[in-house]
Amino acid sequence: MTDTTFTQATARGWLRSQSRWSPFEIIFWLALLLPFFLFPTYLPLASQIAIAALFALSVDLILGYAGIITLGHAMFFGLGAYCAALLGKAGWGEPISGLLLSGLFAGIIGFIASFIIVRVQHLALLMITLGLGLLTQELANALTWLTGGTDGLRIPRTWPIFNYFRFDLWGYTGYGYTLAVLFICFLLSRRIVNSSFGLALRGVRENIKRMPAIGSAYQSHQQKIYAISAAMAGMAGALLAQTTSTVTLEVLSFNRSADVVVMLILGGTGRLYGAIVGAIIFLIARDQLAGVNPQYWYFWIGLLLMVVVLFMPKGILGFVSRLAGRRD
Amino acid sequence: MLTRRVTLALGVALAMSTSALAQETVKIGVILPYSGPFADAANQLQAGIDLYIAKHGDTVAGKKIELIKKDTGGPNADTAQRAAQELVVRDGADIIAGFALTPEALGAAPVAEEAQKLMVVMNAATSNVTEQSEYIVRTGVTIPQVNYALGKWAFEEGGVKQAYTLVSDYGPGHDAEKSFSAGFTEAGGKMLGSDRTPVANPDFSAFVQRVKDANPEAVYIFVPGGAQPAAIGKALADRGLNPPATKIFAQGELTHPEALESMGENARGIITTFHYTLERDDPLNKEFVDGYTAANNGRQPDLFSIGGYDGMHLIYEALKKTNGDASGDALLEAAKGMSWDSPRGPMSIDPETRDVVQTVYIREVQEVDGKLQNVVIHEIPNVKDPLH
């Protein structure tokens, strides 16, 4: 009868065992360096994938772990992008401080928005996030003097990173920069989901009514993760603005919010690598299919999505881990 | 044995000649919104490009023309930028062209600048596009170009002393409102007021009532294509705001043949300004329209088609001038100041601004042979963009 009490020490041990690095993960991250050597002409695509992966990661934190469904997360992506763009336009082109400021800005707005978000669930939550996203886009459209409206903004080239790595035409710096930011944010997310806070979030996702019953303040948990996720989405947007030197209303569009959910469904929600794998598959498929047929490539994306949803309900990674015989 | 050697030699010669030919290509990257809500514009523009190539062959100055198409999916500056980047570094494109929408052109401009490639903007109609890079040449139209001219004409020739504007609340609408008002007031006219309607607006009656209350001599309207021309035409007619009592001014898309069909009788008497008139009586234009409709199942050309067609003309003529040298600087020099007769009428490239200079047509919707169509009532030659 000695092992029936689940002591704090074993809980900590369990969390620690969850956060141990597996060799697969190390290989995965090393593989992300391959484009530098194998596909140097695909680096612009690779950096857009890294940006999309970061955005998908931010949505996974709330959708996959905290059970907050959203169709308006492009709002924070766009706010970050415009923040970085306006900083650049005002004459401050230093990338890293610009990135952090944009993330902070999106995070603050996310925290404010979270007061509404935590009060609703399910369909109402979808509508609220959708509405907030559309309102933000319309606001940006109305503020043409600030945002450039439908024409978009062109910003001066971002300054070299550490005053040394210039943003080049081939995209070496662009990919190195976006990949580094993705990796750091991934480490952060990994730390979050494998903490007791992350465990509480999963509890919220599984049964929101039981959490108060065991004395867990689920609303403040949700608010925290929502603000963190908004900041991360804002950083993804800032990366896009900084690496492409342009920003348009499209960064706030419903399409972007929907695409990121599609990426998550493809890769598998509730697992951090699902976000990255989903972004890789979605963007490479789009690039290749659009190359074959620039008009009707969306058909194939739709087909891919249907196949994944029908035959791999837990996404491609969920399918792979089932094949490997591992339980979630 | 002999035959074997001959075939071998032939094979080698063939291989060499094809490899020689392969070096003799000029690659043109075409960046357009082939998918998404603007796919129709992209198809019309592409059809203009294709018609030019079909008519003039795919070889210029000894070089074979090869098109590489890239989709942007809509007004996405980042996708356009990546497309341009890939065209230059991966596909080895010599020229980048296309650009139906302004954000696409803004996105690709830094790449053209850095890679020093000629960039032919075939439509994107915001004034500042050509200022984004020294390598940009535009063959389409700018919104201020046609609307400023209309504003000026309305006061000087149209006999209108005061007017009202009603435009859709987005970039092109703002540009149109600004440039029409500028042309009109600078000539001496007075603006009674201006209103903006939501971009996707199904009902104009409240807005039109406001216009009616101001009792202007003329109203200038700008709405995106689709269902809106018919809706606003109806709202204006319902409130009795129609010609000849009140003049209606607009940019040419409003009374494009397809829109005219949906507007019906309400279109009669509307005065529009445009750089291309489908019905203009001119042998070059007739040949263009006939060739276009024959190649596209009866679909008629529009502003996108003519922009693509003339854009290809510019590329072909510039290549002829440089004897096939496709470097950005050589082509740019050849393009500056170039002038030619297009199906739209005489046009040229301003050597200073690299922007299009062309005739602006003031047209009125009139009945011809029992059918409503745009009839040119005035021509203003050599109009430049007023904002440069």
Which of B70, B86, B102 is facing A151, going by the closest CB pair?
B102
So what's the pLDDT on residue A158? 82
User: Are residues B82 and A154, on separate chains, in Cβ contact within 8 Å?
Assistant: no
Which tokens belong to A17? 């065992």
Q: How far is A323 from chain B (nearest CA, A)?
A: 36
CATH number for the domain spanning A275: value is: 1.10.3470
Q: How far is A313 from chain B (nearest CA, A)?
A: 28
- The amino acid occupying position B105 is A
Kindly report the backbone phi and psi dihedral angles of residue A143, in degrees, each rounded to the nearest multiple of 5, phi listed first. -85, 55
Q: Does B222 touch chain A (CB under 8 A)?
A: no
Q: Does A160 touch chain B (CB under 8 A)?
A: no
Question: What percent of chain A has a predicted confidence (pLDDT) above 70?
Answer: 96
Q: Does A240 touch chain B (CB under 8 A)?
A: yes
Q: Which residues of B touch A171 (CB under 8 A)?
A: 85
Q: Which own/partner pairs from B296-301 qualify as long-range (CB within 8 Å, at least 24 positions apart)?
A: B296/B47, B299/B44, B299/B47, B300/B257, B300/B258, B301/B44, B301/B47, B301/B48
Structural domain contains residue A249? yes
Q: How far is the C-alpha of B241 from the C-alpha of B212, rounded, in Å?
A: 7
A95-117 and A218-244 helices cross at what angle (nearest 10)? Answer: 150
Task: Provide the phi-psi class of B27: left if phi over 0, else alpha when psi is between -120 and 50, else beta.
Answer: beta
Q: Does B89 touch chain A (CB under 8 A)?
A: yes
Paired residues of B206 in beta bridges: none
Which DSSP category does A161 fall into? B
So what's the pLDDT on residue A210? 85
Tally of residues, chain A: 328
Paired residues of B271 in beta bridges: B249, B364
Which of A41, A152, A297 is facing B90, going by the closest CB pair?
A41
Number of domains in chain A: 1
Which tokens belong to A179? 């990949």
Contact B315, B95 (CB under 8 A): yes
User: Are residues A45 and B75, on separate chains, in Cβ contact within 8 Å?
Assistant: no
Which tokens belong to B177? 């409102």
| Average pLDDT value for residue range A151-161 | 83
User: Are residues B174 and A149, on separate chains, in Cβ contact within 8 Å?
Assistant: yes
Name the CA dihedral angle for A71, A77, A83, A84, rounded to a multiple of 10 degrees.
-170
Q: How far is the C-alpha of B135 from the C-alpha of B354, rounded, in Å?
A: 9
Q: Does A301 touch chain B (CB under 8 A)?
A: no
Q: How far is A64 from chain B (nearest CA, A)?
A: 28
Can you say whether the dihedral through the CA atoms of B323, B329, B335, B337 is positive or negative? negative
Residue B344's H or E segment, with its range, is none
Can you say whether the dihedral through the CA atoms of B233, B280, B361, B157 is positive or negative? negative
In terms of Cβ atoms closer than 10 Å to its own Cβ (0-12, 13-18, 19+), residue B348 is middle
Q: Which residues of A touch B170 (CB under 8 A)?
A: 141, 149-150
So what's the pLDDT on residue B163? 94
Q: How far is B64 from chain A (nearest CA, A)?
A: 21
- The amino acid occupying position A53 is A
DSSP code per residue over A154-202: E-PPPPPBTTTB---TT-HHHHHHHHHHHHHHHHHHHHHHTSHHHHHHH
In terms of Cβ atoms closer than 10 Å to its own Cβ (0-12, 13-18, 19+), residue B19 is exposed
Closest residue by Cα to residue B316 from B130, B15, B48, B61: B61
pLDDT digits (tens, 9 = 90+) for A275-298: 999 999 999 988 888 877 777 788
CB atoms within 10 A of CB B25: 16
Structural domain contains residue A18? no
Domain containing A83 equals: 41-323
Could you list the pLDDT tens digit for every one of the 388 residues in chain B?
444 454 444 444 444 444 444 458 999 999 999 988 888 889 999 999 999 999 999 999 889 999 999 999 888 888 899 899 889 988 999 999 999 998 899 889 989 998 999 999 999 988 888 988 999 999 999 999 999 999 999 999 988 999 999 998 887 888 899 999 999 999 999 999 999 988 777 788 889 999 999 999 999 999 877 778 888 888 888 888 888 889 999 998 888 888 888 888 888 899 999 999 988 889 999 999 999 999 999 899 999 999 999 999 999 999 999 998 999 999 999 999 999 999 999 999 999 999 999 999 999 999 988 889 999 999 999 999 988 7
Q: How far is the C-alpha of A225 from the C-alpha of A57, rounded, in Å?
A: 12
Among B34, B49, B68, B89, the residue to mutate for chain A (most A Cβ within 10 A): B89
Kindly report the backbone phi and psi dihedral angles of residue B243, in degrees, each rounded to the nearest multiple of 5, phi listed first. -65, 150
Q: Which residues of A touch B86 (CB under 8 A)?
A: 41-42, 44-45
Q: Does B275 touch chain A (CB under 8 A)?
A: no
Choice between B226 and A260, residue whose per-residue pLDDT is larger: A260
CB atoms within 10 A of CB B158: 22
Q: How far is B133 from chain A (nearest CA, A)?
A: 12
User: Are residues A144 and B171, on separate chains, in Cβ contact within 8 Å?
Assistant: yes
User: Are residues B174 and A248, on separate chains, in Cβ contact within 8 Å?
Assistant: no
| Delimiting residues of CATH 3.40.50.2300 domain(s) in chain B | 6-141+284-354, 144-274+360-383
So what's the pLDDT on residue B23? 52
Query: B178: which residues sit within 8 A by CB, 6+ positions away?
Result: B144
So what's the pLDDT on residue A2? 46
pLDDT of residue A31 exceeding 60, the answer is yes
Can you say whether the dihedral through the CA atoms of B234, B239, B241, B242 is positive or negative? positive
So what's the pLDDT on residue A291? 76
Among A48, A151, A239, the residue to mutate for chain B (most B Cβ within 10 A): A151
Question: Is residue A327 very low, low, confident or very high in pLDDT (cuts 50, 70, 90)?
Answer: low
- The amino acid occupying position B166 is L
User: Are residues B78 and A246, on separate chains, in Cβ contact within 8 Å?
Assistant: yes
Among A43, A48, A239, A248, the residue to mutate for chain B (most B Cβ within 10 A): A248
User: Are residues A244 and B81, on separate chains, in Cβ contact within 8 Å?
Assistant: yes
Q: Which residues of A touch B88 (CB under 8 A)?
A: 169
pLDDT of residue A212 exceeding 90, the answer is no
So what's the pLDDT on residue A7? 62
Structural domain contains residue A234? yes
Structural domain contains residue A328? no
Q: Does A298 touch chain B (CB under 8 A)?
A: yes
DSSP code per residue over A210-241: HHHHTT--HHHHHHHHHHHHHHHHHHHHHHHH
Q: Does B34 touch chain A (CB under 8 A)?
A: yes
C-alpha distances in angstroms, B339 versus A140, A146, A231, B45, B315?
40, 38, 53, 21, 13
Q: How far is the C-alpha of B267 from the C-alpha of B202, rounded, in Å?
A: 18
Residue B362's H or E segment, with its range, is strand B356-368
C-alpha distances in angstroms, A50 versus A46, B1, B43, B128, B195?
6, 60, 31, 32, 43
Q: Which residues of A touch B171 (CB under 8 A)?
A: 144, 148-151
ipTM for this prediction: 0.73
Q: Which residues of A touch B32 (CB under 8 A)?
A: 294
Q: Where does B144-274+360-383 sit in CATH, by number?
A: 3.40.50.2300
DSSP code per residue over A294-319: TTTHHHHHHHHHHHHHHH-TTHHHHH
Kindly report the backbone phi and psi dihedral angles of residue A8, in degrees, each rounded to the nearest multiple of 5, phi listed first. -65, -35
User: Are residues B102 and A152, on separate chains, in Cβ contact within 8 Å?
Assistant: yes
Q: Does B74 touch chain A (CB under 8 A)?
A: yes
Which DSSP category does A160 fall into? P
Provide the whole-model pTM.
0.81
Using alpha carbons only, what angle is made at residue B328 by residues B322 and B332, rounded to the nearest 5 degrees?
65
DSSP code per residue over A254-283: HHHHHHHHHHHHHH-TTSHHHHHHHHHHHH
The CATH fold of domain B6-141+284-354: Rossmann fold (3.40.50)
Q: How far is A252 from chain B (nearest CA, A)?
A: 11
Q: Does A247 touch chain B (CB under 8 A)?
A: yes
Q: How far is the C-alpha of B375 from the C-alpha of B281, rounded, in Å?
A: 10
Q: Does B37 touch chain A (CB under 8 A)?
A: no
Which tokens belong to B52? 């030019």
User: Are residues A45 and B114, on separate chains, in Cβ contact within 8 Å?
Assistant: no
* Nearest residue in A to B72, CA atom: A294
